Structure 1
């Protein structure tokens, strides 16, 4: 990351879903389908419906369609879109220094930071809906008023309604109020007389209001039953107005969200004051990125959207990735490295880009494997040679000898397993930019730490190079090696096999 630059991902809440943009992203970014397939497994269990059929299947589905059908659909769709955008960005090498969620988006942010699994995140979002429905929280709504929080509080004071509250302070001229339907009718009527604009929020319930207090204990009790993991990065809460602490119990904090307001404007100013100059909205619609632009007007802040369509009906994510590459905050794309022109000059660039996003990791791994087999990590042969000279002199019946282990870890050395585990923990922590302490014995790389199979393959290749292990067989299965314990055992076993093949003395 360039010096003096800091990046924040913003995870949206209510209203943070754009069905058309999500479908556009799904056509060229395989991460969208991968995330929603993980969500499908849970929504099928909970609701006998696949969320991907609703948002990525035949026919268009926008946020209001989902709200009209069933409350859980909109909430899981917003959650899934945020996770998909986060995964796309990180797969392109963008590394946020901090995550911040807006209302529901705090759940997404905590999942993205590893506090809960993706599947448990679905359960939390679904339970949030269920407990509110069981406690009659459905009879209310949210309205955005074009006035500052102080003025809005004075307006609400005229009505003396205990269930009416300021839900969100977005900026100095936009405040969201939440409460019962009948009372909000009075609020909008008074606001109209005062020349204050009012816009309905696309939300199923009146979030962040005392009306939801009866539902909070049941929700907290449920979240306590789920396994909480160490955070892999910093998460800032616009509700708590602070960063979550390492190891902080989250069930009570998430239950507090039912009644506490979101002070988004203050959060953006705090993060900007801490040095954040790039805000990326990881989710649908460009609402938060527009708020950031307004809150930081006149500064050097870069505010970018992802799963939204711009004025030219183009996916904002594509221009955002270009901007991040230009700023040195993302890995160079295939178009930047000239691969399309080199490998497929007659193929349209968007087709090549989509192919590379789906299969580039497989191509890179195949090249690395072939190069190791071709050169053995030693001096490269001349272009016309297909095999190393000593291989050409072998009888065809002689089995191929595995390359010798690296000098730093000779095969006949008696390596201590704890030493190997410690080395692996350091290697994985540095590669993933996680604290070493999260790699505890038995921690699942994908289910608990969110390391997908593509990244695991890449890291196993690094491990093989580090210990001088031969290329893996074509039918090598990744499944058994999803913890550092099993990878350490794999390394020891492979080194023992190599030692048995080498002459003694």
Structure 2
């Protein structure tokens, strides 16, 4: 079992937040250089393989892509890479302070909770694999899809979705919102959004409509799984996907993580919450640069850094 408790005992940097990406950030080869060059990262990948009984490190490093993009593998893969990047950055001395807040986008909330000491790495990575399995089952049971809508305000898009039987899934940044539902509902809402002045509509290649009521069976299943997990109070406040407010008590985490599956991800509001509390620097740990890109769109005054490769993790 990997011990990450040293992260929570670091002195606090009151102006810093750590953030962790969600599904869609994955790419074959992710984390391979980290594991090769940093023993702390390698230990995280080895711990994931042992905890899951699945060679998740090999799937990250070598693919194939269709295996990595299976939700049941994608979710633990991204969490593992994120924590490996964080562990490497701490080991090299790049990270010498803990943040005022942690936050993760959707799946990334689990990585945030592991970093904050609310749940062990082994338990966290097992939970996200089960989350991936339940969400894939829900997708298979009732086919659905998602689309990114650019250039329409949240309230206007909520009204459009309500009219056409679709749902708002993620409010990522100003003018960057994801909707989901059945294919026909998303198609109708997308057309209406275009008529309402959307600058762009991008159909997404996803398994289904995450963060909508169509995931209710997955949320119910996850609620049962989470009931058996003893969460600790997070040492660093975790900004909730569901409410965009900081969570400081372990007792509410099971319900947060179950509700999250059917609730919109309030990412823009989460970043605004952290900025209002004095955050001026955000570090994204994991594959890709999606969240730092969104943060720059939400608040240009926030300095952003990425740690996802061996080079980026070096002091």
For normalisation by structure 1, the TM-score amounts to 0.55
Q: Determine the C-alpha separation between the residues in 2 that align with 1:9 and 1:132.
A: 26
Match of 2:182 in 1: 180
Question: How many residues are paired up?
Answer: 300
- Aligned partner of 2:74 in structure 1 is 74
Partner of 1:282: 285
Summarize the Cα distance change of 1:61–1:288 in structure 2 as closer, same or farther, 3 Å threshold.
farther
Q: CA deviation at 1:199?
A: 2.4
Higher deviation after alignment, 282-291 or 185-194: 185-194
Among 127, 143, 154, the residue aligned to 1:149? 154
Partner of 1:213: 216
How many angstroms apart in 2 are the aligned matches of 1:263 and 1:296? 15
Task: Give per-residue Cα distances to partners, 1:302-359, cap 9 Å, x unaligned.
Answer: 111222xxxxxxx5x63575xxxxxxxxxxx4xxxxxxxxxxxxxxxxxxxxxxxxxx
Q: Deviations over 1:419-450 (max 9, x none)?
A: xxxxxxxxxxxxxxxxxxxxxxxxxxxxxxxx
Which of 16, 27, 46 is the equivalent residue of 1:7? 16
Q: Which residue of 2 aligns with 1:28?
A: 37
Looking at structure 1, the residues matched to 312 and 248 of structure 2 have their Cα atoms a distance apart, in angstroms, of: 34
Q: Which has the higher contact order (CA 8 A, sep 6+)?
A: 2
Note closer, same or farther for the CA distance 1:195–1:250 as it changes in structure 2 (3 Å cut): closer
Give distance in 2, aligned partners of 1:279 and 1:138: 37
Task: Verify the 8 A CA contact 1:82 1:108 in the aligned structure 2.
Answer: yes
Q: Distance in 1 between matches of 2:58 and 2:12?
A: 44
Q: 1:5 to 1:109 in 2, by over 3 A?
A: closer
Query: What's the Cα RMSD here?
Result: 2.5
Q: Report if the CA contact (8 A) 1:221-1:251 is conserved.
A: no
1:128 paired residue number: 131
Q: Unaligned stretches of 5+ in structure 2?
A: 1-9
Aligned to 1:488: none
Q: CA deviation at 1:25?
A: 2.6
Whole-angstrom CA distance in 2 between matches of 1:226 and 1:71:
22
Residue 29 of structure 1: CA displacement? 2.2
Hey, what's the Cα distance between the residues in 2 that align with 1:222 and 1:97? 29
| Match of residue 197, structure 1, among 191, 194, 200 | 200
Q: Which has the higher mean CA deviation after the structures are superposed, 17-26 or 78-87?
A: 17-26
Q: Distance in 2 between matches of 1:21 and 1:73?
A: 13
Aligned partners of 1:238 and 1:266 also within 8 Å: no
- TM-score, normalisation: structure 2: 0.85
The answer to whether the 8 A contact 1:138-1:204 is kept is: no
1:292–1:138 distance in 2 versus 1, CA, 3 Å = same
Aligned 8 A contact 2:29 2:60 in 1:
no
Deviation at 1:53, TM superposition (A): 1.5
**Residues 14, 203 of structure 1: 8 Å contact kept:** no
Aligned with 2:251 (options 248, 251, 267)? 248
Other-structure match for 1:350? none
Contact 1:239 1:257 in 2 (8 A): yes
Q: In structure 1, how many angstroms separate the alpha carbons of the residues matched to 2:273 and 2:313?
A: 23
TM-aligned CA deviation for residue 176 of structure 1: 0.7
Q: 1:78 to 1:228 in 2, by over 3 A?
A: same
Structure 1 gaps of 5+ residues are 308-314, 322-332, 334-505
The 1:98/1:137 distance shift into structure 2, 3 A limit, reads farther
1:293 and 2:302 correspond: no
Q: 1:4 to 1:34 in 2, by over 3 A?
A: closer
Q: What SS does the aligned partner of 1:231 have?
A: coil
Q: Deviations over 1:446-480 (max 9, x none)?
A: xxxxxxxxxxxxxxxxxxxxxxxxxxxxxxxxxxx
Higher share of residues assigned strand: 2
Q: Partner of 1:318 in structure 2?
A: 311
Tell me the alpha carbon deviations over residues 245-293 of structure 1, each in whole angstroms, 9 at most, x when there is no partner: 3232322111111111111111111111111111011111101001111
Shift of the 127–20 alpha-carbon distance from structure 1 to 2, 3 Å rule, reads closer
Q: Deviations over 1:64-88 (max 9, x none)?
A: 6522xx3211111111111112222
Are 2:170 and 1:168 aligned?
Answer: yes
Aligned-partner SS, 1:166: strand
Contact 2:116 2:235 in 1 (8 A): yes
